[in-house]
Amino acid sequence: MFADLYVGYPLETGFTYRVPPGMELSPGRRVQVDFGGRQTTGFVYRVHDEEPSDFTAKDITGVIDDGEIFDSRLVELARYIASTYVSFPGEVLSLALPSGRRPSARFRVPFERSDSGPVTFNSEQSRVYDDILSSYDSGTLAHLIFGITGSGKTEIYIELARHFISMNRSVIYLVPEISLSSQVFERLYNVFGDELIIYHSHVPATQRLHNWKRFYSGEAKIAVGTRSAVFLQCPDPGLIIIDEEHDGSYKENSSPRYNAKRVAFYRSRKEGALLVMGSATPSLESMYAAESGVTGYHELKTRYGGARLPGVEIVKTSPNRPSDMISPILKLHTKRAVDSGRQAIYLLNRRGFSPIVICNACGHVVECPDCNISMNAHAGNVLLCHYCGLKRPVPARCEKCGSDDIVKLGSGTQRVEETVTKDLGVRVFRLDQDSARAKNAVHDLIEKMKNREVDVLLGTQMVAKGFDFHNVTLVGVLLADIGINMPDFRSAERIFSLLVQVAGRCGRGEDPGMVVIQTLNQDHPVFRFIRDQDYYGFYRSELSMRKLLGYPPFSRLARLLVRGKDEERVRETVNRLRDIVDERIRESGMDVRILGPSSAPFTKIGGNYRHHLILKAEKLESLRSVAAPVRKLLNPRDVYLEIDMDPYDLL
């Protein structure tokens, strides 16, 4: 017997191996094979008795799984993703399938289950729920819910899940962040108990395999997870939920550069599942698709229980003194909230834990020589680059003008934590990428917030996403500017949704909320829409801009990026790439426009120079037929070519 299998390398085809006598094998299992002298995992998609005529098939070394863990639907999906995103089926499979070898069930849910039973919908929720199910019955598979923060979308997802599970169909529930997945997990676990599995990259590999198998067999009926959970297989998928659908993390940043939303669309069509996407700030693409009738569309215009949206105040801040980090207005509101037993959330829109270093005389900022981004000061007078990890001492004198008036400016969450604790005398909980990594950090936070052991929750983007704390009446945004002026066509959309989302974290209980946004740049037009929480206004104005410039949703983009250590080589290669693409376009007569080449906004990361070409066309199909063959035609040496279809950012 022989087996056809894919391996996890960038190769288009599958390979045939011999099944040694006595080995029991069926499609849908992972095996161990020798590939070019290296042991690697093979994904078996076919077992047959046709001996290859032109080569001698090597023996399979060992079988990893004792039963099948995937079927032909996943193989088909992998091929679809490979062709759409100019990637490879084996690469997709090795990303889609759990990597663990021996399943392990060692996992304790860190809290007691408390099921309060089904909720009673208000009339808006009932209408949306009924509309979705009836239009699903008449054939509309994909739906967008635009519901303001706190309008009860999550409760609708939960009831939809209950409905499909009662029909013995499975449910995949996608969330954008691991931290959010634990909060949603808690809510879902109370309802579904052991029917629920969790699936994301922080779950240990052996346990992920265990969870995968339980879902694959249909023993567990609902899965909550991040992007890669969109690949989970099950006997009969009934519902795929994409919570906070506007979030950029649904797009994978390395090959295969798939978008989980698109994968969910594909699966919904192939497997007849209902797809429900929801957001308080839908992405322009999704709203446009809904308006154009491509997906069903539903609105929730009021907060559940009559809670009001918070008022928003935009405050000008000055960047210079660390003590100005928290404006008098924000201080006042924080005092008031805390004194009356309420809680606050502070958003620090900035990755990093510590200040940047700036020359007071000439304004020069110390940047990483390799990455072109500012370096952060850390304890012990060390500067650190958060892209490549380069370390150097804080210079005694300005590199540019020689002045010794060097100051540290702006602060990361750690520093702000100290300042807030000292200045305001309140209890702060810090949540950022680092602190969230600790085991049960988010669960811990949820408990402490509930028990009122925290006055101010301080964190990065993470705190904007999905939290539902009823006692929070104040949100402060410490420096809203970072991100607004990014050289990327989605930067306004991103800042709009970030700030509206974080604003939505307060006033979810009986008392109205209040939002203070500090900025250097209060005249920026985006703030008007944020102040009024005017999604439609923003959507209209942004859409007309996109139309004018021919950006998505009025076009599709592909980015071809060349990176390497030797800038001359990178430049030369990207120019050659342009010629190749040009030639392809002329040959095919396709309507594809080339922008560039130019250096990427982050011109250098980790010592690699980055130059790119942007391709624009009406149809992704044309982009693909231009982009797919370039890897072979270019045959890059000493540099690396990244092909990104429908890129999320162009930085």
Residues from 124 through 183 that contact ligand ADP (CB under 6 A): 125, 147, 149-155
Decide if residue 288 touches ligand ADP (CB under 6 A): no
d(CA 436, CA 537): 35
- Sorted by sequence, the CB contacts under 8 Å of residue 563 that are 6+ apart come out as 570, 605, 608, 609, 610, 611, 639, 640, 642
The one segment of 163-171, 201-209, 389-397, 637-645 that binds Zn ion by CB under 5 A: 389-397
Residue 259 binds ligand ADP, judged by CB under 6 A? no
Out of 1, 23, 119, 388, the residue judged to bind ligand ADP by CB under 6 A: 119
Q: Which does 385 bind (CB under 5 to 8 A by kind): ligand ADP, Zn ion, none?
A: Zn ion
Q: How far is the CB of 536 from ligand ADP (least distance, A)?
A: 18
Q: Decide if 560 contacts 612 (C-beta within 8 A).
A: yes
**Stretch touching Zn ion by CB under 5 A, among 263-271, 284-292, 351-359, 562-570:** 351-359
Closer CB to Zn ion, residue 395 or residue 509?
395
Nearest residue (CB) to ligand ADP, 305 versus 369:
305
Please identify, using beta-carbon distances, which residue of 122 and 575 lies nearer to ligand ADP: 122
Residue showing tokens 């099948």 = 68
Phi, psi of 83 (to 5 degrees): -75, -35
Among 390, 441, 482, 543, binds Zn ion (CB under 5 A): 390
Stretch of residues binding ligand ADP (CB under 6 A), selected from 121-129, 167-175, 411-419, 604-612: 121-129
Which residue number, 115 or 591, has a Cβ lying nearer to ligand ADP? 115
- The residue (of 120 and 340) whose beta carbon lies closer to ligand ADP is 120
What DSSP character marks residue 220? S
Q: In this structure, are residues 354 and 383 in contact, taking their beta carbons and an 8 Å threshold?
A: no
Task: Find which of ligand ADP, Zn ion, none residue 119 binds, CB within 5 to 8 Å per kind.
Answer: ligand ADP
Interface mask (CB under 6 A) for ligand ADP, residues 297-336, using x and -? -------xx-------------------------------
Residues found in the chain: 651
Alpha-carbon gap, residue 99 to 205, rounded angstroms: 6
Give me the helix-helix angle, 328-339 and 413-424, nearest 10°.
70
Is 205 within 8 Å of 181 (Cβ atoms)?
no
Give the interface segment with Zn ion, choosing from 18-26, 245-253, 261-269, 377-385 (CB under 5 A).
Answer: 377-385
Tokens at 475, concatenated: 């949100």
Mention every residue, 6+ apart, whose C-beta is less than 8 A from residue 36: none
Residue from 133, 205, 315, 388 in contact with Zn ion (CB under 5 A): 388
Give 59-125 as a DSSP string: BP-EE--SS----HHHHHHHHHHHHHTT--HHHHHHHHS---SS-------SS------PPPP-HHH
371 lies in the site for Zn ion, by CB under 5 A:
yes
33 binds Zn ion (CB under 5 A): no
User: Which helix (H) or strand (E) is 601 found in, with range?
Assistant: strand 592-605
Task: Count interface residues toward Zn ion (CB under 5 A).
Answer: 15
Give which of Zn ion, ligand ADP, none residue 368 binds (C-beta under 5 to 8 Å, depending on kind): Zn ion
- Binding part of the chain for Zn ion, among 35-43, 296-304, 378-386, 565-573 by CB under 5 A, reads 378-386
Which residue stretch of 39-47, 255-263, 365-373, 440-448 sits at the interface with Zn ion (rule: CB under 5 A)? 365-373
Return d(Cα 247, Cα 582) in angstroms, integer.
Answer: 34
Residue 120 token pair = 């009673």
121 scored as a contact of ligand ADP (CB under 6 A): yes
Query: Applying CB under 5 A, which of residues 44, 74, 312, 398 lies at the interface with Zn ion?
Result: 398
Cβ-based nearer residue to ligand ADP, 121 or 489: 121
Do 186 and 445 meet the contact criterion of CB atoms below 8 Å apart? no
Cβ 3 to ligand ADP, closest distance in Å? 46
- Does the protein bind Zn ion through residue 359 (CB under 5 A)? yes
Q: What is the DSSP string of 129-154?
A: HHHHHHHHHTT--EEEEEE-TTSSHH
For residue 456 the two structure tokens come to 């101010």
- Report, in Å, the least distance between residue 155 CB and ligand ADP: 4
Rule CB under 5 A: say whether 407 interacts with Zn ion. Answer: no
Task: Extract the tokens encoding 197.
Answer: 């599995």
> What's the angle, vertex CA 83, arms to CA 78 and CA 86, rounded to 5?
110
Sequence-distant (≥ 6) Cβ neighbours of residue 359 within 8 angstroms? 365, 398, 400, 401, 403, 405, 406, 407
Show the CA angle centred on residue 358, arms to residues 357 and 359, nearest 5°: 135
Q: Which is nearer to ligand ADP, 151 or 207 (CB)?
A: 151
- Looking at beta carbons only, is 155 or 455 nearer to ligand ADP? 155
Q: Give the SS3 label for residue 607.
A: coil
Nearest approach in angstroms of CB 162 to ligand ADP is 13
Per-residue string for binding with ligand ADP, 422-461, x by CB under 6 A?
A: ----------------------------------------
* Partner from ligand ADP, Zn ion, none binding residue 519, C-beta < 5-8 Å depending on class: none
Number of neighbouring beta carbons within 10 Å of residue 601:
14
Residues 456 to 515: which contact ligand ADP by CB under 6 A?
Answer: 468
**Contact (CB, 8 A) for 598 and 618:** no
**Minimum distance between the CB of residue 401 and Zn ion, rounded to whole angstroms?**
3
Cα 393 to its chain centre, rounded Å, is 34
Count of helices and strands (H, E) across the chain? 18, 27
Binding site for ligand ADP (CB under 6 A): 119-122, 125, 147, 149-155, 304-305, 468
Binding site for Zn ion (CB under 5 A): 359, 361-362, 364, 368, 370-371, 385, 387-388, 390, 398, 400-401, 403
